Amino acid sequence: MLDRVFRNLSVRIGASVIALMVLVAIAAPWLGTVDPSLFDAGSRDLLPGKVGEITTLEGETLKHTFLMGSDSFGRDIYSRVIYGTRVSLAVGIATALLALAAGIVCGLGAGYLRWLDGILMRFMDGVMAIPAILIAIALVALWRGSIVTVVVAIAIPEIPRVTRLVRSLVLTIREEPYVEAAIALGTPTRKILFGHILPNCVAPLLVQGTFTCAFAILVEAILSFLGVGLPPDIPTWGNIMAEGRAQFVSYPHNVFFPGIFLAVTVLAVNILGDGLRDTLDPKMAKRV
Amino acid sequence: MFSFVARRILATVPVLLIVAVLVFLLLRLTPGDPAAIMAGDAASTEQIARIRAGLGLDRPIVVQFGIWFGNLLQGDLGESFYYKAKVTALIGQRLEPTLSLAALTISIAVLLAVPLGVIAAWRFGGWLDRALMAFSVLGFSVPVFVLAYILIWLVSLQLGWLPVQGYQRLADGAGPWLYHLALPSITLSVLYIALIARVTRASVMDALGEDYIRTARAKGLPELRVLVRHGLANAAVPIVTVIGIGVALLIGGVVVTESVYAIPGLGRLTVDAVLARDFPTVQGLILFFSFVYVLVNLLVDLSYVFLDPRIRY
Amino acid sequence: MNALDVDGLTIGLPSGADRTEAVRRVSFSVARSEILCLVGESGSGKSVIAQGIMGLLPKTLPLNGGSIRLNGEELVGMSEAGYRLRRARRMSMVFQEPMTALNPVMTCGEQIDEVLRFHSDLSLNQRKTRTLDIVREVALPEPERIVASYPHQLSGGQRQRIMIAMALVLEPALLIADEPTTALDVTTQAQILKLILELQKRHGTGVLFITHDFGVVAEIAHRVAVLRVGELVELGARDEVLKAPRHEYTKMLIASVPTLKPHGRAVPPGAPVVLETRGLAKTYAAHRWFGPSRKVRAAEDVNLELRRGQTLGIVGESGSGKSTVARCIVRLIDPSAGEIRIDGADIAGLGAAALRPLRRKVQIVFQDPFRSLNPRRTVGEAIIEGPLNYGLARAEALERARRLLELVRMEPSALARFPHQFSGGQRQRICIARALAMEPELLIADEAVSALDVSVQAQVLLLLEEIRTRLNLAMLFITHDLRVAAQVCDQVAVMSGGRVVEYGPAEEVFLRPRHEYTRALFDAAPGRGFAFGST
Amino acid sequence: MKRRFLAAILLVLAAGGAASFAAAQEKVLRIVPHSNLAILDPIWTTAYMSRNHGYMIYDTLFGTDEKNQIKPQMVETWTESPDHRLWTFKLRKGLEFHDGKPVAGEDVIASLQRWGKRDAMGSALMTFVERMDSPTPDSFRIFLREACGFVLEALGKPSSNVPFIMPKRVADTDAFKQIEDYTGSGPYIFKKDEFKPGDKAVYVKNPKYVPRKEPPSGTAGGKNVYVDRVEWNLALRDGQAQVNALQKGEVDIIEALPFDFFESVKKDPNIQLPKYATVNLQYMARFNHLNKPFDNVKVRQAVLAAFNQVPFLQAQVGVKELYNTCASMFTCGTPYGSPYGSDIQSKSNMKKAQELLKASGYDGTPIVLMKPTDLAAIQKLPDVGAQLLRQAGFKVDLQAMDWQTLVGRRAKKDPIDKGGWHMFMTAWQGHDIWNPIANPTMDTRGVDSGWFGWAKDDKLLELRAKFMRATDDAAKKKLANEIQARAFEIGTHVPLGEYSQPMAARKNISGFFITNGNIYWNLKKN
């Protein structure tokens, strides 16, 4: 099954770009970057390629070429975008995992236990009825802007979507003869859920996971735009762009470079998602 | 049919109830105190305490919920702390811009996305499919405010065709109304084209795999007839569902586009209310969105009856 | 001039398939007013030939050679537009699955009218009357209602008649019928075959009838062509091929078709009663909030008895309630009323906990081999799952699994492999091994062989017979195929509309049927005249 | 069908262009204020937007001109009794409310009483006032218990809360409930029915308003109105969108142009950057005197030494000509703006700060510095502060939150672990802090002082009380210097330098004058 997946062009493109981004994230300190939060008001708003100076915490200043220019604080955009890869990817992946985990537990429960179904799905309708952006803003305002808050804030509106997907999968799979055979063999419910039903949900969940990851990276940028995202000393593509948007016309490099990284990554994750869905489970798209 | 509609409306009551309680608690737990915000910079702590008492925020949460819920039952969403106006009036003022933007955006998106999706499904796996899908996925990959700035810079500033911001009421003439909404709806529709095209492609691809397509081709029908009357017609249900989701999203969640284009819509109102901890307005708005979401779902479900004769209520 | 002349037809397979070509140098012809039956097992390439003729081959199955002449006109190499003009006008096709072959969102009338609209210049009213005529001609009741109704509102048989109406409305020279009756009940199948014969005579159409069921061949064919793995192995008049087949493969196929005569084995009396049902019933209530809730009686007042070492068959058409009874006995669904006694203990109303120890005694094998095994788990895991549930040590369970695989004639190496690496027949054997791993007293086979090819079906039936005698097992055999029932069952119960209409030893029920529904069932069985089968 | 549809679209677009031209006949001034207008009662809140709204529709007894002198506005003549305990005022002719009723003394008294309950300077004045009465409809008198040196400064104070004069029936509303009737006697009339919160506010010219003869200066002088209608665009919040709209001519004035656009807007031929203020705005960092370590004056001194003003101004403002360092706590260029006593900050460097901190016995508790993420005007200051504190040897916990959370949290006196804080940064308009009585940081009554931070110092209170009673200017100046020196000594807060908030307008707008605030009369649109 795996070889069939990797023969798909979209999967190959998507996966290789993401691998590159992960590499960039890991190798951030060795890619000619400086501490992203260091700034020197003197070297403010430098255009890409210019040379300026950065003062370290110890107070000594050092020459530095700003490959992607500097922002209104005088911070090096190149370093911030590279370090931003770490946080943006982390936000994307963590949100996807959290949404999947919670969604699986609720989805399995709602799909298999009839009495739980009614209440849980009404609750999920309730959560889904509230626009995702608003939940995110309220939650981030609730607990202060840290990575954990932002991930939870973006994950919560996604949970009902995963729950619905898992529930619909469980309702179809439990009618499959091999599940009925397992019941006839006296297999306890727990083993049926996690032994038979869940393994067969892996394909659609993988696909949904990629879409959630792409969506999470985007929402983080929007939260930063609205001023409720991660604080600037934790660089993400979103908040670099949000801060740089003020001088978009005069200094577009603030938005251009993080925008490229963001678009390429989200595009890669989406293409990977499309590729996975086409190879693993063409029927799944209807349920998304 | 009637029993179905009645049942669905009754089913919305628990959902709205859950939403009401959820939002009420969520807001009360949020740090930030509306009284302090409104009192302004130089107010003393005593003055803030007096204002909070005036707003009834010093009473226990359960009592506050009781009062608010009591008024709700009489259809009164209460009065905004911040704007000294009835929440229902605030929503009323902002309804037209939001609905206009939503209607224009969703029509552009559907007019472009559905044909895109059908062609991509028809040429599944081919270069055309890959190209169309990559373009539509691009809509997903760029944050809407970046796209908005680029479009404003290009279309409004350089070419000067369309205005940069602002909203013109329909009552003041359809011309200026459309003139101001053109750019925002184009910016916004890019995201929804991606959303709808992807589902269209998948469901049409499914339909093209069914036996009745083989029958249609065996009847010697022209390919376009097979694609539309047999393929697309059978793929309508999931497409209408995703359009429904789009509409619900457009009503509640387009705060970014509203901010950049200065359209006084519900999205911006909600974000300002959340940031200003204007509890009654946020609660009223979110209840409104939930009701719209449930209503849109109901309309979508009812539309299934016309799309698929097998579905009866 | 023949309706259809196929000469040296060769159609390729995509790389990576088990052989290079799907069809290799096949030649045959169909004269006007003649029915040629193309017979072969699944994977023999018969449907590929039909698609080749209609020009509907997908890109992955290229037409590599040979010629197809329709009314003398060469089709190979014709442009798509040319093909399109000839489809439905010169040649048309009827497919196997009536349930999905019609467009669910268009009325039946519209779908017939579509053919007329795109292939003739008749006015709207002319098309309306022509549609009503053809619907009347395929013997459908109330043509006006049928024309205005949607496919899901009609039965399988009625839908197949609409397909035939669509195919013949323009009086094509050639009709290709690809297993048109396989998915239908026996009685409906008989009516459709009769309809095709009448229409074919009246319009002088040449019919290429594709099937895997020799009973149907005996019933309808003028000439027969036998296909084996893409090659034509035998061609000739029906009686010659059926009575004196020349090719080894044809001989084997005909021998595998079970005879309608019951096997007449002696039944040792006085064996202990394993299964006994009293007044077993199951009703589904389609409840509606405001209107009266409609009750559907799936099974009603079913009284059965089965002794160790015996096989009880339940026969009936789809919707007769035979599967419902089986699923009640295995407690996959909860019966609405009545008792189910296994070894004397009534399990009808037991709760899950109390039921669990008794579940071991009853096991079931399902119809669809491709969905009966969890694709994500190895064969070994599937077989030992049952014993592990009841506390058997893993090593011991694996040992038992190895022994059972030998019992069902499969190599022990199969334990480590995944279900998708096996054929339909092999998977069914694995399911049997999985059921036997629980050492049940009652084995239920719910249409266990219906999805298999005739030859594979024969082997599995033999295996079941051997297992029943060696393990002195009680077996409940659910099927719609009378021939299979005759070969396997000691006792037979005939069900219709949820009720048991006839119940007794196989000879009584088969040779001297008392209830007229049973008689109608036997009359409709295709190929009664031929004494098939040598066993 | 397709062609007809396209034709319809083109027709509609053309009509769009034409419609916007028609509106030009009527002179409409389209202004983008610096924030959203929410509360319409300038007494109920100190928010600048409500104050600016007040100046549109209300009038004041006195005004402050560009040289910070108190000049009469509604008052014709006034006398002060020799024992300084009786002030009599006579209103000028032709003063009428929008509902046609003439302005009477009792309206003034009711307005002053409501204002006195909410405004810091107002309540200070009210401690001196025994009673007020209105002997004739066009006059009123104030009886004092003892001499008070800042009666006129209070009645003419230019910034929040401004003693606007409202009809008695409106002014009688409880000071802690918002008024709902917006009748005033100012140069514009508020169109309540056209007001859409978060979208736009509309004011029309008050035809019956009789402006004073003197030329307009600050909040004093003649309030002439040369446009028919003024529209505040409340929906346009995004900086980039505001500049785009101004360049495209869709709006006429941007009240607060973000610093980042200053360079690009300056180059634009049809946009001007009018000079409207001589008094700047001042950044400041405020300690929370209740929480360790900032309860120790030595630690506060170390911070004063560490906070050199230049890095803050460079990072937050960035445009050289828009900012200037200023040692005074009362804003340079105002009567009491002098560097007296500011050496601890103005003459120090990082090394000195590090030594002071070591000497203070600072035990390393992390400083909770609150940073707003959604207020462009001040959101960069905390980052600079954090870096300088770290360089000085402090441990810093920079907590980012939206402005509303910050405003809510700074009102809390709880210890750190229960949501307390150590320091926050904000900006003040010169007019709010140039006078030691109005300046909130000088209120050092500890826990029950009027402003967050709750500094405690009796000596400073004495100096302020003396200042309140001082009547002649020389004495006031000396006392002001002593107050400032004492404030630096105990480290009430850290001034972080001054900046002027640029305003941008289309070239076809004229009549700008020095307002030292957001005032919109005397403007012409040609």
Q: Write down the mean pLDDT value for chain C.
A: 87
All chains having 3 or more CB pairs closer than 8 angstroms to chain C: A, B
Which among A222, A264, A282 has the least Cβ separation from residue B206?
A282
* D497 — pLDDT class (breaks 50, 70, 90): very high
- What is the distance between the alpha carbons of residues C324 and C332, in angstroms, rounded to a whole number? 9
Residues C248, C330 within the same domain: no
Cα torsion B252, B255, B256, B257 to 10°: value is 80
Residue D254: φ, ψ to 5° = -110, 115
Q: In chain B, positions 208-267, which contact chain A (CB-CB < 8 Å)?
A: 209, 238, 249, 252-253, 255-256, 259, 267
Boundary residue ending a domain (C229, C255, C281)? C255
Q: Which of D53, D248, D260, D442 best probes binding to B when mutated, by most B CB atoms within 10 angstroms?
A: D248
Residues C316, C251 within the same domain: no
Q: Which amino acid is at A112?
A: Y
Say whether D423 sits in a helix, a strand or coil. strand
Closest to A153 in 3D by CA, of A90, A200, A220, A207 = A220
Q: Taking CB atoms and an 8 Å limit, are B219 and C115 in contact across chains?
A: yes
Q: Is residue C260 part of a domain?
A: no
Q: Taking CB atoms and an 8 Å limit, are A286 and B32 in contact across chains?
A: no
Q: Is residue C461 part of a domain?
A: yes
Taking residues B232-260, what's their average pLDDT? 87
Query: In this predicted structure, what is the pLDDT of residue D75?
Result: 92
Taking residues C234-255, what's their average pLDDT? 89
* D6 — pLDDT class (breaks 50, 70, 90): low
Query: In this predicted structure, what is the pLDDT of residue D107?
Result: 93
Is residue A44 within 8 A of residue D314, CB to CB? The reply is yes
- What is the distance between the alpha carbons of residues D244 and D250, in angstroms, rounded to a whole number? 9
| Cβ–Cβ contact B271 with D under 8 A | no
Taking residues B247-269, what's their average pLDDT? 86
Cα D315 to the center of its chain, rounded Å: 23
Say whether C39 sits in a helix, a strand or coil. strand
Is residue A235 within 8 A of residue A83, CB to CB? The reply is yes
Residue stretches of chain A with pLDDT short of 70: 1, 41, 57-59, 141-145, 281-288
- Identify the CATH number of the domain defined by range A12-36+79-287: 1.10.3720.10
Query: In this predicted structure, what is the pLDDT of residue D4?
Result: 57
| Cβ–Cβ contact C442 with A under 8 A | no
10 Å Cβ neighbour count for C379? 25
Given a cut of 90, whether residue D507 has pLDDT beyond it is yes
Tokens at A284, concatenated: 């799944």
| Cβ–Cβ contact C117 with A under 8 A | no
Query: In this predicted structure, what is the pLDDT of residue A57?
Result: 66
- Pairing verdict, β D281-287 and D423-429: antiparallel
Query: In this predicted structure, what is the pLDDT of residue D113?
Result: 93
Query: In this predicted structure, what is the pLDDT of residue D115?
Result: 92
Given a cut of 70, whether residue D24 has pLDDT beyond it is no
| Cβ–Cβ contact D39 with B under 8 A | yes
Query: In this predicted structure, what is the pLDDT of residue D130?
Result: 92
CA distances from D422 to A63, A171, C462, D397 (A): 35, 56, 88, 10
- Chain D residues bordering chain A (beta-carbon distance below 8 Å): 238-240, 243-244, 258, 260-261, 263-264, 310-311, 314-315, 318, 350, 371, 373-374, 376, 380, 383-384, 387, 390-391, 398-402, 404-405
Q: Tens digit of pLDDT for each residue in B161-189? A: 888 888 888 888 888 899 999 999 999 99
CA distances from C59 to A119, B44, C14 (A): 50, 80, 9
Taking residues C51-69, what's their average pLDDT? 89
Q: Write down the mean pLDDT value for chain B.
A: 86
CA distances from C338 to C79, C284, C302, D477, D519 (A): 65, 15, 8, 106, 91
Strand boundaries in chain A, DSSP class E: 51-55, 61-65
Residue C479: φ, ψ to 5° = -160, 160
Strand boundaries in D35-161, DSSP class E: 59-60, 62-64, 70-72, 75-80, 86-91, 129-133, 139-144
- What is the distance between the alpha carbons of residues B277 and A257, in angstroms, rounded to a whole number? 35
10 Å Cβ neighbour count for C239? 12
Given a cut of 80, whether residue C294 has pLDDT beyond it is no
Given a cut of 80, whether residue C527 has pLDDT beyond it is no
| Cβ–Cβ contact A184 with B under 8 A | no
Q: Taking CB atoms and an 8 Å limit, are A129 and B256 in contact across chains?
A: no
Residue C267: φ, ψ to 5° = -110, 115
Query: In this predicted structure, what is the pLDDT of residue B20?
Result: 85
- What is the distance between the alpha carbons of residues D510 and D508, in angstroms, rounded to a whole number? 7
Query: In this predicted structure, what is the pLDDT of residue B118?
Result: 93
For chain A, what are the domain ranges?
A: 12-36+79-287
Q: Tens digit of pLDDT for each residue in D395-417? A: 888 887 777 778 878 888 888 88
Taking residues C253-257, what's their average pLDDT? 84
| pTM confidence score | 0.83
CATH at C450: 3.40.50.300
Is residue B218 within 8 A of residue B257, CB to CB? The reply is no
| Cβ–Cβ contact B164 with D under 8 A | yes
Given a cut of 50, whether residue D89 has pLDDT beyond it is yes
| Cβ–Cβ contact B225 with C under 8 A | yes
Residues in chain C with CB shorter than 8 Å from the CB of A182 are 374, 385
User: Lowest mean pLDDT: which of C370-384, D188-202, D373-387, D498-512?
Assistant: D373-387
Query: In this predicted structure, what is the pLDDT of residue C288?
Result: 56
* C531 — pLDDT class (breaks 50, 70, 90): low
Q: Tens digit of pLDDT for each residue in D172-185? A: 998 888 888 999 99
Closest to C283 in 3D by CA, of C264, C296, C268 = C296
Handedness of CA D334, D336, D339, D344 (dihedral sign): negative
Distance between first and last Cα of chain B: 5
Residues C77, C186 within the same domain: yes
Cα torsion A162, A168, A174, A177 to 10°: value is -120
* D261 — pLDDT class (breaks 50, 70, 90): confident
Q: Tens digit of pLDDT for each residue in C434-476? A: 998 888 989 999 988 888 888 888 888 888 888 888 888 899 9
Burial C104-131 (b: 16+ CB within 10 A, else e): bbbbbbbbbbbbbebbeeeeeeebeebb
* B45 — pLDDT class (breaks 50, 70, 90): confident
Q: Tens digit of pLDDT for each residue in B206-233? A: 899 889 999 999 998 999 999 999 999 9
Taking residues D336-357, what's their average pLDDT? 86
Query: In this predicted structure, what is the pLDDT of residue C287?
Result: 61
- What is the distance between the alpha carbons of residues A210 and C38, in angstroms, rounded to a whole number? 49
Residues C197, C59 within the same domain: yes
Domain containing C359 equals 310-524
How many beta-carbon contacts under 8 Å exist across A and C?
Answer: 54
DSSP B171-190: GG-HHHHHHHHHHHHHHHHH
All chains having 3 or more CB pairs closer than 8 angstroms to chain A: B, C, D
Query: In this predicted structure, what is the pLDDT of residue A284?
Result: 45
Taking residues C38-45, what's their average pLDDT? 87
Taking residues D237-260, what's their average pLDDT? 88
Say whether B143 sits in a helix, a strand or coil. coil
Residues C72, C178 within the same domain: yes
Q: Is residue C129 part of a domain?
A: no
Q: Tens digit of pLDDT for each residue in B184-200? A: 999 999 989 988 998 89
Residues C427, C332 within the same domain: yes
Closest approach of chain A CAs to the CA of D241, in angstroms?
Answer: 9
Q: Which residues contact D57 (CB under 8 A, 6 or more apart)?
A: D98, D182, D184, D186, D188, D189, D190, D203
Residues C327, C246 within the same domain: no
Q: Tens digit of pLDDT for each residue in C192-221? A: 999 999 988 898 999 999 998 888 888 889
Q: Is residue C483 part of a domain?
A: yes
* C128 — pLDDT class (breaks 50, 70, 90): very high
Query: In this predicted structure, what is the pLDDT of residue D19?
Result: 47
Given a cut of 80, whether residue D83 has pLDDT beyond it is yes
Q: Is residue C154 part of a domain?
A: no
Query: In this predicted structure, what is the pLDDT of residue D285?
Result: 93
H-state helical runs in C244-393: 248-256, 322-329, 352-359, 379-389
Query: In this predicted structure, what is the pLDDT of residue D377?
Result: 82
Closest approach of chain A CAs to the CA of B15, in angstroms?
Answer: 5
Tokens at B302, concatenated: 């009812």
10 Å Cβ neighbour count for C500? 24
User: Lowest mean pLDDT: which of A31-40, B213-222, D42-51, D101-110?
Assistant: A31-40
Percent of chain B exceeding pLDDT 90 equals 21
Lookup result for tokens 């036996």: B211
Burial of A143 (0-12, 13-18, 19+ CB in 10 A): middle
Omega of the bond leading into D293 within 30 degrees of 0 (cis): yes
- What is the distance between the alpha carbons of residues B9 and B295, in angstroms, rounded to a whole number? 8
Query: In this predicted structure, what is the pLDDT of residue D5?
Result: 56
What residue in A sits closest to B11 (Cα-Cα)?
Answer: A122
Evaluate whether chains D and C are touching (3 or more beta carbon pairs less than 8 Å apart): no
